[in-house]
A and B are shown apart, each in its own frame.
Chain A
Amino acid sequence: GQQLNQSPQSMFIQEGEDVSMNCTSSSIFNTWLWYKQDPGEGPVLLIALYKAGELTSNGRLTAQFGITRKDSFLNISASIPSDVGIYFCAGQLNGNTPLVFGKGTRLSVIA
């Protein structure tokens, strides 16, 4: 089945630093979503992308839908302690197919 390669698997950064993570796929997706999951909670939708090349921001978060439709990245600027968690990318081929999740990026922020 389809798989998403999400990297890095984990990262440790200093508070205030910028963060970048990405997802790549061997096949095309027509929708990309980014979720954040805190320990013991469900994933929370951060950003949804629907068009190739689209760049969307949500506060300190910015995500882009790659022009090839096979990748997406998420940037977090000026990280703060509450950014700690696991970030998942998810892709969808078309409206009738389920989401395919990446394996997640575990972010740790050192104050």
Chain B
Amino acid sequence: DAMVIQNPRYQVTQFGKPVTLSCSQTLNHNVMYWYQQKSSQAPKLLFHYYDKDFNNEADTPDNFQSRRPNTSFCFLDIRSPGLGDAAMYLCATSRDLDGRKGAYNEQFFGPGTRLTVL
């Protein structure tokens, strides 16, 4: 089945130790997103890729970076995790329906990676 896969499902890291979360998709969608979700809150968009074009949200800390080496894979790098970065990180994808950078909707989410910072 076509899907969005996130690895690992659970990640434990130490304060200040760089960590990378990965996302892959078999949907062949051209848009990929990274969200941060803290307990009992809505997902918060960090950034997204439209094909290879990177779009950062204005309030996303510099500590968060992303790479998209190809259509299928996208990575979230946290350069120096702090205690406040402990959260669920969700990857999502969508397909631009009309090729004009429209239709950023019908986002399909992966199962998430729960990050613990010690």
Give residues in A with beta carbon < 8 Å to B: 31, 33, 35, 40-45, 48, 88, 92, 94-99, 101-104
Please tell me the size bucket of the interface on B.
Answer: 20 to 34
Asked if B105 contacts A33 (CB within 8 A), the reply is yes
Asked if A98 contacts B45 (CB within 8 A), the reply is yes
**Chain A interface mostly helix, strand, loop or mixed?**
loop
Asked, given contacts A42-B109, A43-B109, A45-B108, whether A99 binds B101 with beta carbons under 8 Å apart, the answer is no
Tell me the smallest distance from the CB of A87 to a CB of chain B, in Å: 11
Asked, given contacts A88-B42, A99-B107, A104-B42, whether A42 binds B102 with beta carbons under 8 Å apart, the answer is no
Asked, given contacts A45-B107, A92-B105, whether A101 binds B112 with beta carbons under 8 Å apart, the answer is no
Asked if B114 contacts A43 (CB within 8 A), the reply is no
| Chain B CB within 10 A, most for which of A41, A43, A48 | A43
Asked if A95 contacts B111 (CB within 8 A), the reply is no
Asked if B103 contacts A95 (CB within 8 A), the reply is yes
| Chain B CB within 10 A, most for which of A48, A95, A97 | A95
